[in-house]
């Protein structure tokens, strides 16, 4: 399990970084989106307990923290997912505006001389 997930995170992050370094704005948007999947998963696995139950406690029953997945990274990632959406939206609109102003979708607002 663990190696599969770790490699999965690595592939997501690597693809994301590769796209982040590309010259076209859309590539950067997709890259950022892939990178945030990787980072969200990474934060999430920090609190993963093997065989742990989802963090829902039963009324009346005593709580054994060792039985549950760590709720804190989950709460962090939950808000991070929503913020990622906002960030993607902002980035997209900035890039569109830059495209409208400069006439190109190169990240620097002008085509490479090379």
Partner 1 sequence: MSREVLLVFLLVLPFAGSIAAGLLRADARNTEAWLAGAISLAGLAIVAALYPEMAGGGVVRHEFAWAPAYGLAFTLRMDGFAWMFAAMVTGIGFLVTVYARYYLSPEDPVPRFFSFFLAFMGSMLGVVLSGHLVQLAFFWELTSLFSFLLIGYWHHNAAAREGARMALVITSAGGVCLLAGVLVIGRIAGTYDLDEVLASGDMIRGHELYIPALLLVLAGALTKSAQVPFHFWLPQAMAAPTPVSAYLHSAAMVKLGVFLLARTWPVLAGTEAWQLIVGSAGLCTLVFGAYLAIFQHDLKGLLAYSTISHLGLITVLLGLGSPLALVAAVFHVMNHATFKASLFMSAGIIDHETGTRDMRRLGGLYRFMPITATLATVAAAAMAGVPLLNGFLSKEMFFSESLVAEVGVPAVQRLLPFVATAWGALSVAYSLRLIHQVFFGPPPAGLEKVPHEPPRWMRFPIELLVLACLLVGILPAYTVAPILDVAVRSLLGEATPAYSLAVWHGFNTPLIMSLVALAAGVVLYAALRGYLARGVESPPLFAAIEARRIFERVHVAVSWRWARALVGVLGTERLQPQLRWIVVVAVAAGLLPALRAGLGPGPLDATPVDPAFLLMWVVGGACALGAAWQAKFHRLAALVLSGGAGLVVCLTFVWMAAPDLALTQLLVEIVTTVLLLLGLRWLPKRLPYRGTAAGAVAALPRRLRDLATAVAAGTGLAALSYLVMTRPIPDSISRFFLERALPEGGGANVVNVIIVDFRGFDTLGEISVLAVVAITVYALLRRFRPARESVEPPPQQRAQSPREAEDDLRVPAAIIRVMFPAIVVLAAFLLLRGHNLPGGGFVAGITLVIAVILQYMAAGTRRTEAQLGLRPLRWMGSGLLLAAATGAGSWLLAHPFLTSHTPKVVLPVLGEMHLPSAFLFDVGVAAVVFGASGLILIALAHQSLRK
CA angle 12, 27, 44 (to 5 degrees): 30
- Tell me which DSSP letter residue 104 carries: -
Residues 6+ apart with CB under 8 A from 78: none
Residue 11 near partner 1 by CB under 8 A: yes
Residue 111 near partner 1 by CB under 8 A: no
Q: How far is the CB of 109 from partner 1 (least distance, A)?
A: 9
Q: How far is the CB of 64 from partner 1 (least distance, A)?
A: 9
How far is 98 from 105, CA to CA, in rounded Å? 8
Which 21-80 residues touch partner 1, going by CB under 8 A? 21-27, 29-31, 33-34, 37-38, 40-42, 44-50, 52-59, 63, 65, 68-72, 74-75, 77-79
Residue 82 near partner 1 by CB under 8 A: yes
Q: How far is the CB of 25 from partner 1 (least distance, A)?
A: 7
Residue 101 near partner 1 by CB under 8 A: yes
Q: How far is the CB of 6 from partner 1 (least distance, A)?
A: 4
How far is 52 from 69, CA to CA, in rounded Å? 5
Question: Count residues contacting partner 1 (CB under 8 A)?
Answer: 88
Q: Residue 28 burial (CB < 10 Å; 0-12/13-18/19+)? A: buried
């Amino acid at each position: 399990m663990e190696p599969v997930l770790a490699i999965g995170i690595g592939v997501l992050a690597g693809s994301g970084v590769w796209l982040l370094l590309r010259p076209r704005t859309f590539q950067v948007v997709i890259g950022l989106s892939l990178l945030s999947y990787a980072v969200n998963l990474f934060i999430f696995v920090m609190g993963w307990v093997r065989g742990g139950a989802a963090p829902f406690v039963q009324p009346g029953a005593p709580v054994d923290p060792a039985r549950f997945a760590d709720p804190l990274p989950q709460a962090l990632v939950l808000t991070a997912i929503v913020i990622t959406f906002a960030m993607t939206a902002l980035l997209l609109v900035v890039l569109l505006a830059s495209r409208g102003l400069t006439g190109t979708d190169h990240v620097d607002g002008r085509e490479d001389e090379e």
